[in-house]
């Protein structure tokens, strides 16, 4: 499977038009493209001007054929009057369970990531794509600790997430060029499932397993919070972004 994420910043004046544009133009066109399994528009729950067009593909080749056909640029050009900015991520799940993560910004050099990841295929409940919810957790990892971080994630975090009702997919990205940031991407059947996971304390419990590999600055922050009441903020705090579905449809 190949997961393609197109990050878009909406012009506030056209915000109400975006969902209709995606429903009426984007989804019907993508439904005709060979290998496109799903398309949805998800919106940042805190910054309402930030959205992501998320498409799932049968293979990398299907997604590349779509791009080379010119349709992608055609649709993006049509959407430009609604947008303030755009950038793109591509996530490719290979047979070796390695995920290539490629953020692309117009007129910028792409940053390439290799990702140790797994899906959760045992769960057959496909859920309602119209209510799908996405959590992206950005974590700063201490230099030299990325392999250990990945091992903990694959051996301890993923098995626990498999048990969580409503968690459909999980991906972990990490840098290939010495970057210290890892991004955990989980896709849920709905917001309620993700909220229950977070409110149950399970998220905090799993995060504890990863803390020994987090940056020294973050570990220092955690020590301060244990010694004195209140929250301490640093430039390397763990960032959680939440996205709810604005529009979506499964084709296959």
**What are the tens digits of pLDDT across the range 178-218?**
467 787 888 898 889 999 999 999 999 998 999 888 877 66
C-alpha span between 101 and 92 (Å, rounded): 7
Domain extent at residue 66: 2-250
Above 90 in pLDDT, residue 27? yes
Give 20-81 as a DSSP string: HHIIIIIHHHHHTSTTEEEEEEEEESS-TTEEEEEEEES-HHHHHHHHHTTHHHHHHHHHGG
How much of the chain, in percent, has pLDDT values that exceed 90?
16
Task: Give the dihedral sign, CA 122/182/136/23.
Answer: negative
Above 50 in pLDDT, residue 46? yes
For residue 29, the model assigns a pLDDT of 93
For residue 156, the model assigns a pLDDT of 93
What total of structural domains would you count in the chain?
Answer: 1
> What is the rounded average pLDDT for all residues in the chain?
75
Q: Give the global pTM.
A: 0.69
Give 186-199 as a DSSP string: EEES-HHHHHHHHH
What's the pLDDT tens digit per position in 139-178? 888 888 888 988 999 899 999 998 999 998 887 866 544 4
Tokens for 188, please give them: 């849920």
Q: Which residue has the tokens 């959680």?
A: 240
For residue 93, what is the enclosing H or E element? strand 83-93
Contacts 24+ apart (CB under 8 A), 124-131: 125/168, 125/189, 126/168, 126/250, 127/166, 127/168, 127/189, 127/190, 128/189, 128/190, 129/38, 129/40, 129/245, 129/248, 129/249, 129/250, 130/245, 130/247, 130/248, 131/189, 131/190, 131/191, 131/245
Average pLDDT value for residue range 63-88: 82
Q: Are 55 and 63 in contact (CB under 8 A)?
A: yes
Smallest CA-to-CA distance from 101 within 4, 21, 9, 220 is with: 4
CATH number of the CATH domain containing 8: 3.30.70.100
What's the pLDDT tens digit per position in 96-154? 444 444 554 443 332 333 344 445 544 444 445 557 888 888 888 888 888 898 899 98
For residue 185, the model assigns a pLDDT of 82
């Amino acid at each position: 499977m190949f997961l393609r994420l197109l990050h878009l910043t909406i012009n506030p004046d056209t915000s109400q038009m975006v969902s209709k544009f995606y429903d009426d133009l984007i989804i019907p066109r993508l439904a005709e493209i060979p290998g496109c399994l799903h398309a949805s528009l998800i919106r940042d729950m805190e910054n309402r001007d930030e959205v992501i067009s998320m498409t799932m593909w049968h293979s990398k080749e299907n997604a590349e054929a779509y791009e080379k056909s010119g349709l992608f640029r055609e649709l993006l050009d049509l959407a430009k009057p609604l947008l303030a900015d755009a950038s793109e991520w591509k996530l490719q799940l290979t047979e070796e369970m390695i995920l290539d993560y490629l953020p692309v910004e117009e007129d910028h050099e792409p940053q390439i990531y290799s990702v140790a990841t797994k899906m959760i295929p045992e769960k057959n409940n496909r859920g309602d794509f119209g209510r799908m919810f996405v959590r992206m957790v950005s974590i700063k990892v201490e230099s030299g600790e990325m392999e250990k971080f990945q091992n903990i994630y694959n051996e301890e975090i993923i098995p626990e997430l498999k048990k969580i009702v409503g968690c459909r997919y999980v991906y972990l990205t990490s840098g290939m060029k010495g970057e210290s940031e890892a991004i955990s991407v989980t896709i849920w059947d709905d917001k309620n499932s993700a909220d229950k996971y977070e409110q149950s304390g399970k998220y905090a419990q799993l995060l504890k397993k990863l803390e020994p590999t987090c940056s020294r600055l973050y570990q220092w922050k955690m020590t301060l919070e244990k010694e004195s009441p209140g929250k301490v903020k640093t430039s390397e705090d763990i960032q959680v972004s939440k996205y709810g579905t604005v529009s979506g449809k499964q084709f296959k």
